[in-house]
């Protein structure tokens, strides 16, 4: 208790030095928080762009279809899978899909393409497919008055084949039963742009694609959105236990290269932030050390009246940590409104960035317990660590030498 009272008294006795130290710590905390918020917010935004473009948070396949896709590797027992997805409390939405390579013929040209069979009502609940329709309109599973089914094509494919909304497109593909599938479709919409992942894609209604490819009611994939995107890996483990007959994979596994690249970039940003804060605390260490040197006589008096070396180490430690706690509290009050605004409103960029056919013109941060508390813990722990060398120096002071110093 005496040590705590001395620490409290010393903080307010050295007003100028304590104020400078507090400002440095508060600045370091606020810098750490706003940078961490930007890193986490950017990461979260990129994940949303990536997963809501097509991947989803979780995917379900038959065996190794994700790595070695074959048209016959289908999910046949759809009822058991869908019954679990419908009833699961942590599943926000889901959509079935089928895929197949095809040969697309326009007015004069032929080019390879990729068929995406999607459910018109369920797919928009999982991806931003509606927002990606850049021309025309979203299709339905019903044929037109002439009996032709509709299709949507990627912007790259439309440019290559020189086709527009309202034109016909001929598709030729291998059916699951070994037959040659071919049919004519009417283009109702253009999807994305020439840089989208589906720039060479052709979207067909699910039932139409299944009939075209002779798949019956089978599907190749289920794409799932989790209620909490940060817990998608845990949800994938739960679903795998409930549906052992299929392969359940989080997007981090499906797109492992992208995930590892982004994680490395995120770790690099965190290292830079930690380095900046560490440099700030080097200045704090120098301040604490100077404080100890200026109080050499005081520490000598304390030792001469019976204070143990551990008491002096504890005294310097408490002074530094108490000052750090006060600084962090002030920094928290100052930075919280800014982070709230940055998360809710964001910073509008001068030029919109288009990713996967979707435009983003606002940079936002993230407000979470991790963003606010992790820097707080880091600073308090660092403050405690940097107080140890000055504390040890104070503990080694000899009373006779200290009392004779000026």
pLDDT tens digits, one per residue of 170-219: 999 998 888 899 999 999 999 988 777 888 999 999 999 999 999 999 99
CA atoms within 13 A on the CB side of 16: 1
Instruction: Assess if residue 57 is contained within a domain.
Output: no
Same domain, 186 and 326: no
Note whether residue 252 is domain-resident.
no
Confidence of residue 267 (pLDDT cuts 50, 70, 90): confident
Report the number of distinct structural domains present in the chain.
2
Report if residue 58 sits inside a domain: no
Q: Is the pLDDT of residue 96 over 70?
A: yes
Q: Is the predicted pLDDT of residue 22 greater than 50, yes or no?
A: yes
Same domain, residue pair 28 and 100: no
Query: Quick one: 300 and 350 in the same domain?
Result: yes
Residues 71 and 37 in one domain: no
Residues 234, 278: one domain? no
Q: Are residues 107 and 180 in the same domain?
A: yes
Q: Are residues 357 and 213 in the same domain?
A: no
With respect to residue 218, please indicate whether it lies within any of the assigned structural domains.
Answer: yes
Does residue 251 sit within a domain? no
Q: What is the pLDDT of residues 69-81, one digit of tens each?
A: 999 999 998 999 9
Q: In which domain, by residue range, is 108 found?
A: 63-245
> What is the band of 54 on the pLDDT scale with cuts at 50, 70, 90?
confident
Same domain, 241 and 274: no
Residue 167 counted as domain residue: yes
Single pTM value for the model: 0.75
Residue finishing a domain among 245, 269, 304? 245
- List 181's β-bridge partners, or say none: 173
Q: Are residues 155 and 216 in the same domain?
A: yes
Model confidence at 131, pLDDT cuts 50, 70, 90, reads confident
Note whether residue 254 is domain-resident.
no
- Clarify whether residues 228 and 280 are in a common domain: no
């Amino acid at each position: 208790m005496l040590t705590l009272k001395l620490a409290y008294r010393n903080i307010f006795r050295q007003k100028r030095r304590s104020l400078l130290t507090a400002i440095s710590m508060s600045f370091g905390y606020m810098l750490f928080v706003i940078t961490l918020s930007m890193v986490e917010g950017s990461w979260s935004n990129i994940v949303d762009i990536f997963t809501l473009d097509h991947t989803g948070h979780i995917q379900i396949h038959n065996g190794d279809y994700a790595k070695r896709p074959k048209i016959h590797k289908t999910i046949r027992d759809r009822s058991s899978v869908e019954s679990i997805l419908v009833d699961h409390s942590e599943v926000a939405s889901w959509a079935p899909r089928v895929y197949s390579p095809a040969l697309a013929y326009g007015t004069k040209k032929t080019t390879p393409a990729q068929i995406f069979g999607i459910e018109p009502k369920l797919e928009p609940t999982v991806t931003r497919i509606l927002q990606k329709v850049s021309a025309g309109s979203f299709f339905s599973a019903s044929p037109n008055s002439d009996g032709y089914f509709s299709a949507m094509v990627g912007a790259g494919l439309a440019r290559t084949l020189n086709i527009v909304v309202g034109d016909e497109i001929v598709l030729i593909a291998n059916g699951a039963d070994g037959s040659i599938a071919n049919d004519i479709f009417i283009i109702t919409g253009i999807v994305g742009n020439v840089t989208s992942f589906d720039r060479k894609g052709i979207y067909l209604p699910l039932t139409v694609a299944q009939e075209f490819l002779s798949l019956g009611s089978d599907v190749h994939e289920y794409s799932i959105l989790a209620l909490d995107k940060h817990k998608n890996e845990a949800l994938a483990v739960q679903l795998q236990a409930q549906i052992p007959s299929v392969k359940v994979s989080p997007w981090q596994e499906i797109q492992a290269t992208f995930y590892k690249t982004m994680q490395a970039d995120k770790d690099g940003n965190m290292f830079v932030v930690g380095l900046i804060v560490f440099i700030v605390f080097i200045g704090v260490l120098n301040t604490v050390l100077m404080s100890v040197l200026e109080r050499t006589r005081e520490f000598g008096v304390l030792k001469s009246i019976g204070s143990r070396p551990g008491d002096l180490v504890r005294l310097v430690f408490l002074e530094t940590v108490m000052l750090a706690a006060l600084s962090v509290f002030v920094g928290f009050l100052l930075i919280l409104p800014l982070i709230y605004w940055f998360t809710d409103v964001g910073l509008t960029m001068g030029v919109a960035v288009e990713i996967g056919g979707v435009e983003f013109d606002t940079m936002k941060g993230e407000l979470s317990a991790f963003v606010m508390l992790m820097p707080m813990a880091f600073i308090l722990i660092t403050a405690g660590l940097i107080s140890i060398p000055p504390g040890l120096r104070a503990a080694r002071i000899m009373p006779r030498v200290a009392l004779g110093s000026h």
